[in-house]
A and B are shown apart, each in its own frame.
Chain A
Amino acid sequence: MKRNLKYNLVWLLIAVVGWILINVLEGVGIIDQFAETTLVLIGINIILASGLNLIIGFSGQFSLGHAGFMALGAYAAALVTQAMPTELGLALGIIIGMILAGVVALIIGIPTLRLKGDYLAIATMGAAEIIRIILINLKITNGPAGLYGLPQLASWSTVYVLVVVTTVLTVNFIHSRNGRAVMSVREDEIAAESMGINTTKFKVAAFVFGGMTAAIGGALHATYIQTIAPNDFGIMESISILIIVVMGGIGSMTGTFAAAILLGVLDMVLQSFGALRMVLYSLALILIMVFRPKGLFGTWEFSVKRLFNRKKRAKEEV
């Protein structure tokens, strides 16, 4: 704890400065309503993608069903805040969504995580589609029309704080003893098993963790955008989260941040192109993948600790 106190304080400082910076920019008027929406969507995408990166990049399990958990979080938060349109309701909604998504991830994960590679991808995709189809057919979720006119409880600060919290939790999980066990499963399942690691347990743990963070993202989506429909959480949504992960670099949280920001900004800039927007977006996607197949950052991580150490070493050499 004490050893890393300095670095943790620097991270905290970065987070606080970021928050103040956005506040000031908003006060000055550089960030208007439109830019703020973009910012919030980037934040939500970071939450979603870092959870998926944990599953794909760190535990090595290829999941294509992230939008399913997002849907659970979104509907839980929407239904709770409809009944209780207060800040407490929002918190309660997020927690209920997380528990729900965690339980469902557990139910889906235990049988399907025995599958490998593309089979797992297609099974998780199927599971997410089943969730979506159930949402379409339930009374309480108002069918295909979805829920609208939800109270807007999440502001950009809520999203910002939750981005920071989930990132800290995810990164700490990765660096913990359990996180290393998860990564050993990715590197070599048989070797990990022979070292006495319960591979199923850690795969499911990463899957449940990722599912729960997806629920946070979904809850924020519902309470910021104020409208949700089952079709927002289809395969395309899972794929767009996957694109962020792969583009940033599988197994790099820094990359996830960068890719979410890049795609969010790209989306905002292309807004003015109208119908051509998606054409340019897909072209950009293909070109980035063809010319940078490892993603923007590969597995590189930004680390304050390393930055300090480098400085220290430079001083010693002088």
Chain B
Amino acid sequence: MQILQQLINGLSLGSIYALLALGYTMVYGIIKLINFAHGDVYMLGAFWGYFMINKFHMSFWPALITAMIFCAIAGVIIEFLAYRPLRDSPRIVVLITAIGVSFLLENGMSYLFSSSPRDFPQVMDVQRYHLGSVSISNIQILILLTSIILMILLQLIVKRTRMGKAMRAVSVDPEAAQLIGINVDHTISFTFALGSALAGAAGVMIGLYYNSIDPLMGMTPGIKAFVAAVLGGIGLIPGAALGGFVIGIIETVVQALGFSAFRDAAVYAILIIILIVRPAGILGKTTREKV
């Protein structure tokens, strides 16, 4: 029963990581960039939710949806200003720029709104449901369901719409995609919008789950979500979702076993082992090197 309980906690934490990892994996798939600023977009989403609920007395759903829209716009602006001028530069340069954007968002928010943590307004009464010895709160159910719905929506967008088809085409070969009339810049902007919207949703939900937000909250989950994306097989949408859930569950299980100090170390150790055994990630296909 204890295991089942940890599984539920792990799943709700994991779905947050999964939502973040999806953004990483999509951006990586399309322009091969580790978007370090992604975790900070998630922080922006949490702050947007905070202000919407506090100042405009919105309920949860409008706050969530406006946060997603706000983050989508923020993601597109970041891409336009910082990454688009560097489209043809070496990847490591774009990576450093992404780190710069991440620093800017973290420090800019600390400067504007102070770096001390604030309480996220509780728009929902916490209710716990007990099934035998397993307890699950309505917020956990909400996080899990919302994440799964968003993931299904994302899968539909990528697989069923014209824009999704364009995204897949660009991620396979940008030049060939351009030749058949796909606007690569628009497609990349759209990818950033999608990924950032998911991060915004994750930000609002984590605010509700942990009750506390601060400008540096995006750093660690951002890195862990990237680890999740690599674990599942970077560039693959189902891989990111799977990776997120795996990381969430590992973390809670290690914590439950009484090694909470080594929680992060366990995540990284498993990452390294998986990378060495299956360098392309759990779901990734290993490609042969051609000479």
Indicate which residue in B90, B230, B261, B267 contacts A137 across the interface (CB closer than 8 Å).
Answer: B261
**Complex Cα distance A122/B24, Å?**
13
Q: Is the CB–CB distance between A130 and B265 below 8 Å?
A: yes
Q: Is the CB–CB distance between B93 and A279 below 8 Å?
A: no
Interchain nearest-CB distance for A237 vs B (Å)? 13
Indicate with 1 or 0, residue by residue over A264-291, a CB within 8 angstroms of chain B CB atoms.
0000000000011011011101100110
Interchain nearest-CB distance for A285 vs B (Å)? 4
115-138 of chain A: CB within 8 A of chain B: 115-116, 118-119, 121-123, 125-127, 129-130, 133-134, 136-137
Residues in A neighbouring B104, C-beta threshold 8 A:
279, 282-283, 286
Q: Is the CB–CB distance between A118 and B34 below 8 Å?
A: yes
Indicate which residue in A112, A118, A250, A282 contacts B107 across the interface (CB closer than 8 Å).
Answer: A282
Residues in A neighbouring B279, C-beta threshold 8 A:
114-116, 119
**Complex Cα distance A175/B83, Å?**
35
Q: Is the CB–CB distance between B92 and A279 below 8 Å?
A: no
Interface residue tally of chain B, by bracket? 35 or more
Please classify the interface of chain B as helix (H, G, I), strand (E, B), loop, or mixed, using the class held by over half of its residues: helix
Is the C-beta of A105 less than 8 angstroms from some C-beta in chain B?
A: no
Interchain nearest-CB distance for B287 vs A (Å)? 11
Of listed B103, B261, B291, residue having the most chain A CB within 10 A: B103
Q: Is the CB–CB distance between B82 and A286 below 8 Å?
A: yes
**Complex Cα distance A279/B215, Å?**
13
Is the C-beta of B99 less than 8 angstroms from some C-beta in chain A?
A: yes
User: Interface stretch among A29-37, A219-227, A238-246?
Assistant: A238-246
Indicate with 1 or 0, residue by residue over A182-217, a CB within 8 angstroms of chain B CB atoms.
000000001000000000000000000000000000
Interchain nearest-CB distance for B213 vs A (Å)? 19
Q: Known contacts A119-B230, A129-B264; is A293 also within 8 Å of B100 by CB?
A: no
Q: Is the CB–CB distance between B261 and A122 below 8 Å?
A: no
Interchain nearest-CB distance for B233 vs A (Å)? 11
Q: Is the CB–CB distance between A289 and B268 below 8 Å?
A: no
Q: Is the CB–CB distance between A112 and B276 below 8 Å?
A: yes
**Complex Cα distance A283/B230, Å?**
29
**Complex Cα distance A111/B11, Å?**
31
Q: Known contacts A112-B272, A118-B34, A279-B108; is A129 also within 8 Å of B265 by CB?
A: yes
Q: Is the CB–CB distance between A127 and B272 below 8 Å?
A: yes
Q: Is the CB–CB distance between B268 and A129 below 8 Å?
A: yes
Q: Is the CB–CB distance between A250 and B96 below 8 Å?
A: no
Contacts from A to B (Cβ < 8 Å): 56, 62, 111-112, 114-116, 118-119, 121-123, 125-127, 129-130, 133-134, 136-137, 190, 235, 239, 242-243, 246-247, 250, 275-276, 278-279, 281-283, 285-286, 289-290, 293-295
Given contacts A247-B96, A282-B103, A294-B93, 12 further A-B contacts (CB under 8 A): A116-B279, A130-B265, A134-B265, A137-B262, A278-B103, A282-B104, A285-B96, A286-B100, A289-B100, A290-B82, A290-B85, A290-B97
